Amino acid sequence: MCDKFGIDDKTRFLVLHLDAHLDAIEISKIINRSVRIVRCWETRTKKGEDIRNLKKKDKSEKVITEEIENKIIQMVKDNPEGASVKKLAGQIGIPMNAVQRVLASKGYKYVGFDKTVIYLEEEKQVRVEFCNRMLADEGKLIYRSFFSDEMGIELNYTHKARAWQIPSEKIRKTSVPILDNIKLDCWGAISVQGATTLDVYRKGMRGELYREIIERHKPEMEKLYPDGDFYFIQDNHPVHRMNEDWLVKKQNLKLIKWPRRSPDLNVIENLWAALKEKVISEVPNDEQEMRASLLNNWEKLTAPDKLKPMFEALHRRYMDCVTKEGQKLPTIYID
C-alpha cells in the first residue's frame, strides 16, 4: 500500500517510531530494512535531525556515476545470492550506504526466493488429464471419492507469541506453560457424503500403521456409501505407494492415481489448515487437550453441511486447472 502511494521508507519509519512507538526490530520487519539502518535513523532522529534530508556529501566521497550504478546492478544480477552489500562496496570501493541507495533506487530488496511451483510440461499434462477424468460424467468421481491425507501438529506451535495490542499499552501473558514439544500426527478422509473419524497417533506413519488405519476406517467409508460405489484417493507418500497393491487386492478399494506435486488439487489440504487454526485458537496445554481439540474440531469441520460446498468448489477448481492447462492453483481458505 505504501509503495502504491509513494510513501518512502524514512517517512514510514518516522510514523512507526514517533507515533506508534515501535522499536527498531519491529520497524525493520515492517519496512523490510536492516535493523542496523533503522537504529541509525533512530539515533539521528533522537539528535533532532530530519533523516529525510540527505546529508551533504563529503568532497572526498566518491561520486556514484551511472557506470558504477550499472556495475552494481550487473554484479547483483550475476550473483543475487552472494552479492552482499559489504562485498559489493569492497569490490567497487564505495561506502555500503552508497550501494544500498543505488539498489533501493532501482527497486532491489533482499527478500526470500520465489517458491512458486513450476511444473514440467509432462506434469501439467498429467494434472489436466486427472482433472478431466474427475470431471467426467458430471463429476461423478469428485462426488464419489474419499480424499485422504496426513497432517502433523506440534504442541508448542499452538501457543502464539504475538497478539493484537496497542504498542504503547503492550499486554503480557499471565502465565506461559512450559511445554514438552509433543507432536501428534493425524489421518483422515473426507467425501461429499461425510468423513471418517480422525485418527490421531504419535508413532509416525509406517506401512504397518497405515494398513491398521485403513482397516479401522474402511467400515466408516462403506457406511457412507452402502452401495459400495466409492473411490479412494491418497497422495504419493512412500508409505502410500508401497501399499497400493494391498489397497486394491486386499481391501478391494477403487484407487485413483494421484498426480505428483499436486496438493492444490486435494480438498483435504484446505481442511488441515482450518483444523490447525481452530486448535491454535484453543491454546491446548498438554497432549490430552490437543487430542481433544483435534477430534472435536475435525467433527465440526467435516459436518455434511460444511463438506458439500467444499466439494462444489473442488469441482470448479478442477475446471480452472483444465482452463489454465495444469498450472498451479492459488490456495483457498476455509472458515
Q: What is the pLDDT of residues 37-88, one digit of tens each?
A: 988 888 888 888 888 876 555 544 457 888 888 888 888 888 887 778 888 8
Query: Can you name the CATH fold of 121-323?
Result: Nucleotidyltransferase; domain 5 (3.30.420)
Predicted confidence (pLDDT) per residue in 134-160, tens digit: 999 999 999 999 999 999 998 876 666
Does the model's pTM come out above 0.85? no
Residue pair 184/291 in contact (Cβ under 8 Å)? The answer is yes
Q: What percent of the chain has pLDDT over 90?
A: 49
Which positions ≥6 away from 297 have C-beta within 8 Å? 275, 278, 279, 282
Residue pair 126/259 in contact (Cβ under 8 Å)? The answer is yes
The amino acid at residue 281 is S
Beta strand extents in the chain (DSSP E only): 145-154, 183-191, 194-195, 199-201, 231-233, 254-256
∠ CA 34-35-39, rounded to 5°:
125
The amino acid at residue 229 is D
Segments making up each domain of the chain, as ranges? 9-105, 121-323
Task: Say whether pLDDT at 222 is over 70.
Answer: yes
Instruction: Tell me which of 110-119, 163-172, 189-198, 216-225 is least confident.
Output: 163-172
| Strand-strand pairing, 231-233 and 199-201 | unpaired
What gap in Å lies between CA 258 and CA 265, rounded to an integer?
Answer: 9
Q: In whole numbers, what is the pLDDT of the chain averaged over residues?
A: 87
